[in-house]
Structures are given as structure tokens and as C-alpha cells.
Amino acid sequence: MSNLAYETSPEETRVDTDTHSMSELRPIPRISIQAFCETESVASPIERASEDRRMAKAHLKLHMGGAATAIEFYQTAPTPNLIILESRQEPRELLESLGQLAEVCDPNTKVIIIGHYNDVWLYRELIRSGVSEYVVAPISMADIVSVIAQIFVDPEAEPIGKAMAFIGAKGGVGSSTIAHNVAWEMSSLFQSEVVVADLDLAFGTANINFDQDPAQGIAEAVFAPERIDEVYLDRLLAQCAEHLSLLAAPSTLDRIYDFDADAFAQIIDTAQRSAPLLVLDVPHLWSGWSRNVLARADDVIVTATPELANLRNTKNIIDTLKKLRPNDPPPKLVINQVGIPKRPEISVADFTEPLEIEPAAVIPFEPQLFGNAANNGRMLGEMDANHAIVGSVRELAHVLTGRIEPKSKKKSGLGGLLGKLKRKK
Ligand SMILES: Nc1ncnc2c1ncn2[C@@H]1O[C@H](COP(=O)(O)OP(=O)(O)O)[C@@H](O)[C@H]1O
Ligand SMILES: [Mg+2]
């Protein structure tokens, strides 16, 4: 970086980063970025950076105004993956504003500050308080792109994407439907890029649920592992909504699908490097590869219906995953299709007691809503955005992303559940 606030003289720090140093940079992944600028001289290179080809997949929105504008804005709006904030405030004032900004931002949002004070104390304080980078104005377009790349495409860095694996305790319990709807809600609520990967190659339904019929998808990737990189993966994705894309299953039986235990590892790793959220729709089976996918995901969501075989299987899945992932919280539980008329059911309390976990969501049996959505290739939220079940799906989206609900928005669906889960941590 040319002009970070290291202990150098202003002359030394002024050397403009030339654009050819950018030619080696890999593309910025599908992240959402919001920039708040106080001066035209900072806004204009950011604007130009947003048009750079390396930024083609990222969504960048520019606002005029500094810290106060950002704080006000995030009272109600979801926070992006990255905030770039220009501030002319003095060091102490700036630190105070950032404290206020942190209160309305999600903890995993990254922050780059563009300041007007070349002050090493400030630089250290900012980095210590979790700011990813402090850059002193003036800045060039190349500075912006490289500082973003440094945070999001460094091959040494952790993949940015969070992988969430959904599996049913039995077939047909609604695991895929919930996975797709949670993915869709995440993409529309948080305007954050979500990739859905359908790992049920023979019978996957993501293509039906999202009304897509792509010629290529996950099969091309899993059968040609040597070709997988971000560019190839990109070609295999089918766009389903503004911020949602699908790695679709072929859902045909012209070949058989036996895989090695690590067959999906590289696809998952690559997808995690290209988007912040990855939803893995895992079929109901127990094989080397499915066990590995579940063992390595950041979160596992088990969907079950309230009857005995489901309870037994859920208990086995949870116990086994606890052993495979001793340093992770247990899987999350969704109890689905509750209240099927005339079906004898195990109560939620009796179902969860042997599992020793609280359900993250309890979803009633609602054949009309689910049936209409499935038959029309639409999501529940598109069919009836105000339905209580859609509220539960949204809560699940918040819990899984660790997002805070905007204060002004009313809580929906299962009311205090999110709060209860938070308190449990
Ligand atoms: N809460 C619910 N009420 C009514 N039908 C549901 C509910 N959840 C899922 N379904 C329906 O159940 C069927 C099986 O769902 P699916 O997601 O394919 O299950 P899985 O992936 O667990 O095999 C689908 O037709 C879906 O629309
Ligand atoms: Mg399924």
C-alpha cells in the first residue's frame, strides 16, 4: 500500500500506487460494499474503483456523508460485508464515532477508514479496535481496489464465506425447502450474495423450487475437479434472484453418483472464496462425502418432523456431529411439519428433551402455502411475505448469519426466540 499511516514522512507515503500493480490482483468476490464519503476527492476514486473489472462481482454503493450519516443509515438498513468510511474527524472524535457505528453494525462487517490524519497512534488504535485498514487521503483508484483485495482475496486469508449445511433427519421432512427459503431470505434481507449448492445430484429440487433449468451445474464441477476455480464456478452458477445464485443438481439418472469422501471439498472451498454465504443442501444419506460436508461446514441445520424415527435419527446425527466437531456448537434444529391433521405427534418439549437443544424454529404443517410455492417455483416469501412461517424463516436467517435485527423493524414470527437464543450463548 502506498499511503497507509506508517511511520514515514508524508512525501514518502504520497507515491501513487500505479495501476499496473493491480494487474496481478484476483477478482474481488461477490461482496456488498457501502462507502460513505465526505469529500469529492475520495468519492471519485471509489466511484472509479467500482467500475474496475476486478470489482465486477462486488456490489458497491456510494453515499455522500461521513460517520454520522453511516450511523443514521444503519439504524434501519442491513450492514454490508464491507463499509468504507471517509472521515475528516480528529483521531479521538473518529474513535468515538466508530464506537457508535459498531453498535448498529453486525460484528462480521469489515471496515476500512479513509482518514485525513497521518497519525500512527490512531492507526494502531483503529486496528486494535477491529478496523481492517486505515488509509490516509488522498487515495487513488488503485489504492481502493488493492486494499479491498488485501482483505478479501488474500490466498492466505480465511475464506470469507460461511458454509451452512442443511440435512433432513429423514427424507421428505422439508430440509431442502427450508434451506432454499433461508437462502432466499438471506439474500433479500441482507442484500448479501448467497450461493445455494444442491448436493442431491440425482433428485435435487433446488432447480424446481427456484424455477431454473440450467444446462450446467454442480455435476460439471464434481466430475472435473481439476478445472475448479472461481472463474469456472462462476460459469456454472444460475442466477435465481438479485443476490442469489444456484449450483444446480442435474436431477437426472443417466449416470450414477458415487463420490470419494473429499469430492465436494474443493467446490465448497472455492464457493466460500467467492461469496459470503453458502447454503449446502445435503441429501438424507450417510456416506463418506456427506459426513465430511457436515463435519466441515460452519453450521449444520437438521430438519426433523415430530415422530419417533425422526427423533432417533436426529439424536444420532447430533451426537455424531458433536463428536466430529467437538469445538463447535451443536447443530441447529428445525422441527417442521408440526400439526399434520390426525397424525399422532411427539410434542416439541418431548422431542427436544433427549436432544438437549432448543429448536431454532418450529414450523407448522401448511400444505397450501408450501404446495403453492413449490408448484409455482416461488419462495414462501414471494407467495406471502407476511405469513408467520416466513417470519420464522427470517429469524432463522438472522440466527445463522449472526445478524442483528434492525431496531426499527418489528420482530416477526416466533417473537422472542431470537433473543432467547442470544441469551443462551
Ligand atoms: N411445513 C410444511 N408444510 C407443508 N408442506 C411442507 C412443509 N415443509 C415442507 N413441505 C413439503 O414437503 C415436501 C418435501 O420437502 P423437501 O424440502 O423436498 O424435503 P427433504 O429435502 O427433507 O427431502 C415438499 O413438497 C415441500 O413442499
Ligand atoms: Mg432434499
**Mind listing the pLDDT tens digit for each residue in 239-265?**
999 999 999 999 999 999 999 999 999
pLDDT score of 20:
60
Domains of the chain, each with CATH number or no CATH = 10-152 (3.40.50.2300), 162-416 (3.40.50.300)
Write down the pLDDT at residue 1.
41
Please tell me if the CB atom of residue 337 comes closer than 6 angstroms to any atom of ligand 1: yes
- More confident of the two residues 25 and 300: 300
Ligand 1 atom 5, closest CA? 367
Atom of ligand 1 nearest to the CA of 364: 1
The pLDDT value given to residue 160: 80
Question: How far, in Å, are 64, 85, 94, 259, 292 from residue 88 at the CA level?
Answer: 13, 10, 8, 56, 49
Distance CA 297, CA 282 (A): 11
Q: Kindly list the distances between the CA atom of residue 149 and the CA atoms of 53, 82, 145, 155, in Å, as whole numbers in the listed order.
A: 13, 12, 6, 10
Closest protein CA for atom 23 of ligand 1: 172
> What is the DSSP secondary structure assignment for residue 356, as one 8-state letter?
T
pLDDT on residue 354 = 97
Q: What is the pTM of this model?
A: 0.84
Q: What is the pLDDT of residue 348?
A: 97
Each residue of 103-155: pLDDT tens digit?
A: 999 888 999 999 999 999 999 999 999 999 999 999 999 999 999 999 998 77
Q: Going by DSSP bridges, is the β-strand pair 238-241/244-247 parallel, antiparallel, or unpaired?
A: antiparallel
Ligand 1 close to Cβ of residue 168 (< 6 A): yes
The x, y and z cell numbers of residue 228, run together, are: 475448479
Does the Cβ of 306 fall within 6 Å of ligand 1? no
- Give the integer Cα–Cα distance in Å for 382 and 79: 23
Pocket lining: 193 vs ligand 1, CB cutoff 6 Å: no
The strand ranges marked E within 217-373 are 238-241, 244-247, 277-281, 299-304, 332-338, 361-364
Average pLDDT over residues 185-203: 96
Who's near 81: CB < 8 A, 6+ residues apart?
31, 32, 33, 108, 109, 110, 160, 192, 276
Q: What is the mean pLDDT of the chain?
A: 90
Q: Is 209 in the pocket of ligand 1 (CB under 6 A)?
A: no
Q: 282 CA to middle of ligand 2, Å?
A: 7
Atom of ligand 1 nearest to the CA of 283: 21
How many whole angstroms separate alpha carbon 171 and alpha carbon 167?
9
SS3 311: helix
Give the span between the Cα atoms of 167 and 173, in whole angstroms: 9
- Is pLDDT at 10 greater than 70 in this prediction? no
Q: Give me the percent of the chain exceeding a pLDDT of 90.
A: 83
H-helix or E-strand spanning residue 317 = helix 308-324
Lowest pLDDT segment from 23-27, 149-153, 163-167? 23-27
- As a whole number, mean pLDDT of residues 361-383 equals 97
**pLDDT value of residue 108:** 85
Output DSSP code: residue 156: T
Which residues are within 8 A (CB) of 137 and not within 5 positions of it... i.e. 6 or more apart? 39, 41, 42, 86, 114, 115, 116
